[in-house]
Amino acid sequence: MSSSRGEQPLGLRERKKARTRAAIQGHALRLFAAQGYAETTIEQIAAAAEVSQSTFFRYFPTKEDTVLYDRLDPVLMKAFVEQPAELTPLQAVRAACAQVFARLDAEESELERARQRLVFSVPELRNRMIEHIAAGLGMLAEAAAERAGRDPGDFTVRVWSGAVIGVVFAAYFSAAEAPENLVDVIDKAVTLLEDGLPL
């Protein structure tokens, strides 16, 4: 679909902002891996990303936010909504995860794994993760409602979204503790949910 001339600059600006945010986060994660989360300062992150500290704060209010920001969430939600209509909601979740994670190159995959390890190993990050789980639940409920033609506030939509978020969160824990491929672990977890989680 073509854009009007007036819309293009906004699109370019948004893309540039996304690249800058990703670059800052990438440098932060590399520094955390090399020298430790507590030992890394915002000044060091800004210097590595070649931005001023004021620019850093425009993208990330705190150091914690460089880890907690999940750039894949909106991409996953979009891929989920766009899956073929004949797929069940859980099949669409699995297909969206496979599609999005397959697009990551080796460095992007490793940075995502490093981000997850930090979330689960640093107590202050783990505590703040609860806020992000609530936000993720809202995003998934919106996407699920759009696919199903229902209201995002529908009780069944909310409960279904909570169940999916729960198994994905459990998969993140498992992947952080073992050298398994994250997308494989998520797929296994969602398959268990699809099968009724037999014990």
pTM of the model: 0.74
What integer pLDDT is reported at residue 1 of this predicted model?
A: 34
Q: Which of 16-30, 126-140, 147-161 has the lowest mean pLDDT?
A: 126-140
- What is the structure's pLDDT at 159? 93
Over residues 9-20, mean pLDDT? 78
pLDDT higher for 15 or 89?
Answer: 89
The pLDDT > 90 percentage for the chain reads 47
Q: What is the pLDDT of residue 179?
A: 60
Percentage of the chain beyond pLDDT 70 is 92
The string of pLDDT tens digits covering residues 76-121 is 999 999 999 999 999 999 999 999 988 988 888 888 888 888 888 8
Cβ neighbours around 18 below 10 Å, total:
12
Give the span between the Cα atoms of 19 and 13, in whole angstroms.
Answer: 10
Q: Over the chain, what is the mean pLDDT?
A: 85
Q: 164, 90 in Cβ contact below 8 A?
A: yes
pLDDT beyond 60 at 63: yes
Region at 149 (left for phi over 0; alpha for psi -120 to 50; beta for the rest): left
pLDDT of residue 177: 65
Confidence of residue 122 (pLDDT cuts 50, 70, 90): confident
Task: Indicate if the pLDDT at residue 152 is higher than 50.
Answer: yes
pLDDT at 197 over 80: no
What's the burial of 102, exposed, middle or buried (CB within 10 Å: 0-12/13-18/19+)? exposed
| End-to-end Cα distance, the chain | 48
| Highest-pLDDT range among 60-64, 114-118, 123-127, 174-178 | 60-64
